[in-house]
Amino acid sequence: MECNFDLSDPSQPSYQTRDLLQSTPSKLNPTYTTSTPASSAQNCVMTSVPQHNYWGYKSPPGTPTVWSLTESGSIRVLWALEELVEQNILESYNLKAFQRSKTTHAAPEAMKEGFRLGKSPILTVSPANAPDEPPTSFVEGRLILQFLADHYAKGLWDPKTPQDQARDIFFQEFAGTTVSTLTSLTLTMDVIPEATPWPLRPLLKLLFVPLMSVFKGKLAEPFEFLEDTLSDEKPWFGGSKLGLADFCMIFPLDACVVRKYFDGTKYPKVNRWHKTVHELPAYQRAVKKMGEYNGVKA
């Protein structure tokens, strides 16, 4: 039975970092207790399902591989990885770039080799000192970002104060729930008529355009809230410096800007934040690495 993790040892990094996340932002980075990978006999519990999203090794993770799909939320992870490379914190990462189907827009089956659901993004990683070990998979953009922060970033994105830490966590959640849900609903209503063959399209437009307007209208309150959140002292959703919340927020905000659900003249501080992100070389490299994003081919 394949088993490369340890659920019985509370001194492992995942436990440490989860506990410390509740207390102080300055101690998020794990210490690795040995330089050898956990042996399966010593460190496994019996289970038939290899556990994803858990770093069970006592040695640090090695070079990560990101499985990215065109036009997808892997922009959050690619941008974060590019920041780590730019800061010389991470030497490099591997990229498996996939394209959506031209007809269905679905991810290719091959992405299921990274994780059984085959959705983007996926991060796979083996221990630094055992690169041939079967990799552990990490999924869900926000959790991948947390893994990068805990195991690679060396404090780069640690919020400066407990208040900023709470803010950063809050806006990670707000981006992935409130903003993303309303954006997805608006987008779905928007694209259904576009994707419908001509004879039916006018009929579906009659139905879906008003629905789209309703959901688009519902984005106004979250946008106002985001606008009131940003200030000269705290120009990032992470607080006074770039944080995980900013990586999380860019994906739904990019979609809203491209589909014109977001009017920058009404929300100048959010608009400035969006422009600032787009001017970052790391973000621009991430877009190129994805291959196609926001309708633009790299």
Ligand X SMILES: N[C@@H](CCC(=O)N[C@@H](CS)C(=O)NCC(=O)O)C(=O)O
181 contact partners, CB below 8 Å, separation of at least 6: none
Choose between 267 and 293: whose C-beta lies nearer to ligand X: 293
- For ligand X, the binding residues in 132-171 under the rule CB under 6 A are 140-141
How many residues sit close enough to ligand X to count as binding (CB under 6 A)? 10
If one asks whether residue 30 binds ligand X (CB under 6 A), the answer comes out as no
Choose between 38 and 125: whose C-beta lies nearer to ligand X: 125
Stretch that binds ligand X, among 19-27, 68-76, 166-174, 199-207 (CB under 6 A): 68-76
If one asks whether residue 75 binds ligand X (CB under 6 A), the answer comes out as no
Rg of the chain (C-alpha set): 20
Q: What is the smallest separation between the CB atom of 198 and ligand X, expressed in angstroms?
A: 25
The SS3 assignment for 169 reads helix
Q: How many angstroms separate the most distant Cα atoms in the chain?
A: 66
At 177, give phi and psi (nearest 5°). -110, -80
Token representation of residue 104: 């269905």
The SS3 assignment for 76 reads helix
Q: What is the smallest separation between the CB atom of 140 and ligand X, expressed in angstroms?
A: 5
Site string for ligand X, 100-139 (x = CB under 6 A): ------xx-----------xxx------------------
120 contact partners, CB below 8 Å, separation of at least 6: 67, 68, 69, 72, 73, 74, 98, 107, 111
If one asks whether residue 227 binds ligand X (CB under 6 A), the answer comes out as no
Whole-number Å distance between alpha carbons of 95 and 85: 13
| List of residues contacting ligand X (CB under 6 A) | 69, 72-73, 106-107, 119-121, 140-141
